[in-house]
Structures are given as C-alpha cells and as structure tokens.
Structure 1
Amino acid sequence: MVNRLFLIIALIGVPLSVLGSIFHWPSVIMFIVYCLTIIALAGFMGRATESLAIVAGPRIGGLLNATFGNAVELIISIFALKEGLVGVVLASLTGSVLGNLLLVAGLSFFVGGLKFKRQEFNIYDARHNSGLLMFAIIVAFVIPEVFSMGMPETKTLSLSIGISVILIVLYLAALLFKLVTHRGVYQHKTDVVEEHEEPEWSKKKALIILLLATIAVAYVSENLVHTFEAVGEQFGWSELFIGVIIVAIVGNAAEHASAIIMAYKNKMNIAVEIAVGSTLQIAMFVAPLLVLISLLFNDKMPLVFTLPELISMVTAVLLTISITNDGDTNWFEGATLLAAYVIMGIGFYLL
C-alpha cells in the first residue's frame, strides 16, 4: 500500500516538479510538491538499498542505507551552499544528527518495542559507535566553536578545514576497522541470521533504480532550495527551523523508513546501524566534505554551529549513548528519545 502510494507520488511529482520550475508556479505549492516527491523517491532508494543489504549483510547493508539516505541531504546542501545559504546547511546538519539519534532511533525502538518486549543488538558495535559519537560531536564540533571566539574568520576557516580533513581520514579508518581488519572479531548472538530472506529486487534492478532515483532527487532538490526564502516568509519559519526540522526530515526520509521497518522485523543491528551509522557519516564525512566543497563557492562554510545547535547535538549524543550502551532496548527508551526530539523541535520553532 505504502509502496504503491510512493510510486503514484513519484510519477506525478517528478513531472509537476519540472513543469513548476519552468512556469514558475507559486513557491509554497512547489515547496510541498518538491518535499513529497523527494520523500517518495527516497522510499525507492530505501527499498533498493534494502535489497542490496540482504545480499551484503547487516553492517554493509546499514552503511548502504545510511550512505544513500545521506546522499539526498548532501545534494540539497550543495545546492544550498551554491545559493549562499550557509546557515540552512549548518542547521540541516544539526537536524540530521538530532533526527537520526532521537527521531529515527526513537521511532525504531518504540515501534519495535511495541511488538517485542525486549530487543537486542551488537553491544560491541554500540560501544564502538559511542566513542566515535563522542569524538565527532563533542570534540570535533565543540573545538571550532570554542577557538573561533578569539579568531578572525580566515583563521576559523583554516581551523575548520584542518578538522574536516582529520574527520574524513578517521571516518575512512573506522570503516576499514569495522569492515576489513576487525570484521567478525566482535560477534554477538544477534548477528546470526535466523532466516534466509529473498531481496525484493535483483542486484542489477536495485542499482538501476538507485541511480535513477538519485538523479531525480538531485534535480528536485535544486528546485527545492530556491523555495526556502519564500516559504520562510510565508509561514514565519526561521532559517534555523527550516534547516533543523524540514530539510533534515525530507533529506533523511529513506533511512527513517528503512530503520523503522528493520526494527519492526526485529533486525535491530541494521536499524541501529542506520540510525547511529548515519549520524557518524553526517558528522565525520558529510559535514567536513561540505566544508571543503564550500571553498568552491563565494560563501565559505566554517564548521561553527550556533550555541542552541551545539548544545542540542551534545545532549542527543549523551542521551543516545546512555540508552544504547547496554545493547538492549524497549519501547519506553524509544519514547524517551522521541520526547527529547519534540522538546528540541519546539525550541527551534520558537527561536
């Protein structure tokens, strides 16, 4: 039912997006069309990566889901940087961290917990990810904020570039550690596949759909960025709220759906890998990559967030670590994460 709905929205939404951009239809209407179209296309990306994940296993599957889920946001962010919307990009990165750690993980734990009293996942991966989260958010994001207070803009940008390069190198090292040098070393009983599941699509079909959906998302995303200013004025939304809530939810729609479905099927390793792995990819790869890409445009993006953004991200990391470090979860822990997300959402809306 949901898949058929996504197909209908995509078939209607993509032509409407093209016509709307050519004939300059009202920004508010096109904003809604673009958002719905991206979510529908993200649904296809999620199904394609899920098919590939069944073949590749939970870790690589989770990584694929996170990567193609974040590809949507990366595309939106690059077009936003091109338009000089640095604040929106930084806010959307904040929104991705909060969305993945609190909304995606929260919904996954809550939905899965309603069906299963207790759900387990790999405790070793959880602890490994905790250390990386502490480093990526609390060290790499707080340091530029603190040091930039006594620095001119040029030095702040230089500091951001240096930290960005280190983050990317460490992220690649983390992938090497998890997928190559220590693959299978930290096994957990939940890593054992209980049943053989057939992928929805063949490898070739999944890759073709993934490619076509990504191209369509790139086109729609560019048009979406042009509507931000008009929509903000119309609804009274700040640049911060658009980035933290709207862009983050639309940009990460694919992995939101995938993680919840996996949790409902009691595949918690993949669900946690999507939620936490996606956060790490945003913080350690996407954010620093955008800093480096911004050097190609007029408006450069230093890795400096506002105080509300920074405190929200640190709080989300500490709460997530305290909940996931035991490798065990239930619906109440999911509700706790969701409550934190709603509180922060209200704060950003009123800011």
Structure 2
Amino acid sequence: MVNRIFTLVVLIGIPLSVLGSIFHWPSVVMFGVYCLTIIALAGFMGRATESLAIVTGPRVGGLLNATFGNAVELIISIFALKAGLVGVVLASLTGSVLGNLLLVAGLSFFVGGLKFKRQEFNVYDARHNSGLLMFAVIVAFVIPEVFAMDMNETKTLSLSIGISVILIILYLAALFFKLVTHRGVYQHKTDLVEEHEEPEWSKMKALVILLLSTVAVAYVSENLVHTFESVGEKFGWSELFIGVIIVAIVGNAAEHASAIIMAYKNKMNIAVEIAVGSTLQVAMFVAPVLVLISLFFPQNMPLVFTLPELISMVTAVLLTISITNDGDTNWFEGATLLAAYIIMGIGFYLL
C-alpha cells in the first residue's frame, strides 16, 4: 500500500516539479510538492538499498542505505551552498545528527520494542561506533568552535580544512577496519540469526533505480532550495529551524523509513547501522566534503556551528552512547530518545 502511494507521488510529483519550476508557481505550494516528491523518491532508494542489503549482508547493507540516504542531503546541501545559504547547510548537518541519533534510532527502538520485549544487536559494533561518535562530534566539531574564538576568518577556514581532511581519512580507515581487516572478528550472536530473505529487486535493477532516483532527487532538490526564503517568511521559520528540522527530515527520509522497517522485522543490526552509521557518515564524510566543496563557491563554509547546535549534538551523542552501549534496546529507551528530539525541536523552533 505504502509502495503504491510512493509510486503515485513520484509519477505525479516529478512532472509537477518540472512544470512548477518552468511556470514559477507559488513557492509555498511548490515547497510541499518538492518535499513530498523527495520523500517518495527516498522510499524507492530505501527499497533498492534494502534489496542490496539482503545480498551483501547487514554491515554493507546498512552502509549502502546510509550512503544513498545521505546522498539526498548532500545534493540539497551543495545547492544550498551554491545559493550562499551556509547557515542552512550547517543547520541541516546538525539536524542530520539529531535526526539519526534521536528520531531515527528513537522510532526504530520504539516501534521494534512494541512488538518485541527486548531487541539485541552487535554490542562490539555499538562500542566501536561510540568511540567514533565521541571523536566525530565532540572532538572534531567542538574544537573548531573553541579555537575559532581567537582566530580570524582565514585561520578558522584553514583549521576547518585541516580537520575536514583528517575526518575523511579516518572515516575511510574506519570502513577499511570494519569491512576488510576486522570483518567477522567481532561477531555477536545476533549476527548469526539473520533470516534468509529474497530481495525485492535484482542487484542490477536495484542499482539502476538507485541511480535514477538520485538524479531525480538532484533536480528536485535544486528547486527546493530556491523556496526556502519565501517559505521561511510565510511561516515565520528561521534559517536554523528550516535546516535542523525540515531539510534534515526530508533529506534523510530514505533511512528513516528503512531503519524503522528493519527494527519492526527485528533486524536490529541493520537498523542500528543505518541510524548510527549514517550519523558517522554525516559527521566524518558529508560535513568535511561540504567544507571542501564550499571552497569553489563565493561563500566558504567553516566547520563552526552555533552554540545551540553544538550543545544539542553533544547531548544527542552522549544520550545515544549511554542507551546503545549494552547492545540491547526496548520501547522505553526509544521513547527517551524521541522525547529528547522533541524538546530540541521546540527549542530550535522558538529561537
């Protein structure tokens, strides 16, 4: 039923997106059309990556899902940088971290916990990811903020570039560690009970759908960015709120849906890999790549967040680590993460 709705939305939404951009239909109306179309396209990307996950296993599958889920946000952010909306881009990165750790993980734990009393996942992966989360968010995001207080813009940008290069190298090293040198070394009993399942689509079909969906998302995203200013004025939304809540939710729709479905099927290794793995990819790859890409635009983007953004991300990381470090979840832990997300959402709305 949901898949049919997504198909219908894509078939209607893409032609409307093209016509709306050509004939300059009202920004508020087109904002809704663009968002719904991107979410529906993200649904296709989620189904394609789920098919690939069945073939490749939970770790690679979760990584693929996070990568293509973040591809949507990366595309939106590049067009936002091109438009000079640096504040929106930084806010959307914050929103991704909060959305993945609190909203996606929270909903996954909550929905899965309503069906199963306890859900287990690989505790070794959880502890490995905890250390990376601490490094990526608390070290790599907080340090530029502290040092930037006594630096001019040029030095701050130089520091951001240096940190970005280090983050990308460490992220690639982490993938090499997890997928090559230590693949299967830290196995948990949950790794051995994954049910055999037939993929919805063949490998080639899934890859083609992923490619076409990504191209369509790129086109719709560019048009979506141009509506931000008008929509913000109409509803009284700040740049910060649009980035943290709206762009983050729309940009990460694919992994939101996939992680919840995986949790409902008790495939917690994939669900956690999507939520936490996506956060690590945003912090250690997407953010630094955007810093480097911004060098080609008139307005550069240093890796310096506002104080509310930083405190929110650090809080989300510490709360997630304390809940996931035992490799066990339930619906109440999910509700705790969701409550934290709602509190932060209210705060960003009122700023």
Query: Normalization by structure 1: what TM-score?
Result: 1.00
Does the CA-based 8 Å contact 2:194-2:267 persist in structure 1? no
Distance in 2, matches of 1:274 and 1:50, equals 11
Distance in 1, matches of 2:288 and 2:150, equals 22
Paired position in structure 2 for 1:169: 169
Q: How far apart are residue 195 of structure 1 and its match?
A: 2.3
Distance in 2, matches of 1:331 and 1:213, equals 33
Deviation digits for residues 83-138 of structure 1 (CA, Å, limit 9, x no counterpart)? 00000000000000000000000000000000000000000000000000000000
> In the comparison of the two structures, how many residue pairs are matched?
351
1:276-287, aligned counterparts within 5 Å? Answer: 276-287=276-287
Deviation digits for residues 167-215 of structure 1 (CA, Å, limit 9, x no counterpart)? 0000000000000000000000000144210000000110111111000
Paired position in structure 1 for 2:92: 92
Structure 2: any 5+ residue segments left out of the alignment? none
Paired position in structure 1 for 2:21: 21
Deviation digits for residues 211-249 of structure 1 (CA, Å, limit 9, x no counterpart)? 110000000000000000000000000000000000000
Distance in 2, matches of 1:284 and 1:29, equals 35
Deviation digits for residues 226-283 of structure 1 (CA, Å, limit 9, x no counterpart)? 0000000000000000000000000000000000000000000000000000000000
Cα-Cα RMSD: 0.4
Structure 1: any 5+ residue segments left out of the alignment? none
SS at match of 2:326: coil
Deviation digits for residues 126-179 of structure 1 (CA, Å, limit 9, x no counterpart)? 000000000000000000000000100000000000000000000000000000
Q: How far apart are residue 81 of structure 1 and its match?
A: 0.2
1:1-351, aligned counterparts within 5 Å? Answer: 1-351=1-351
SS at match of 2:266: coil
Distance in 2, matches of 1:194 and 1:68, equals 23
**Deviant stretches of 4+, over 3 Å:** none
Deviation digits for residues 50-69 of structure 1 (CA, Å, limit 9, x no counterpart)? 00000000000000000000
Identity of aligned residues (%): 91
Distance in 1, matches of 2:96 and 2:31, equals 20
Distance in 2, matches of 1:139 and 1:196, equals 40
Distance in 1, matches of 2:81 and 2:339, equals 32
Distance in 1, matches of 2:278 and 2:321, equals 15
Distance in 2, matches of 1:32 and 1:196, equals 39
Distance in 2, matches of 1:196 and 1:238, equals 47
SS at match of 2:299: coil
Q: How far apart are residue 79 of structure 1 and its match?
A: 0.2
Distance in 1, matches of 2:50 and 2:5, equals 18
Query: Normalization by structure 2: what TM-score?
Result: 1.00
Q: How far apart are residue 338 of structure 1 and its match?
A: 0.1
Distance in 1, matches of 2:15 and 2:210, equals 19
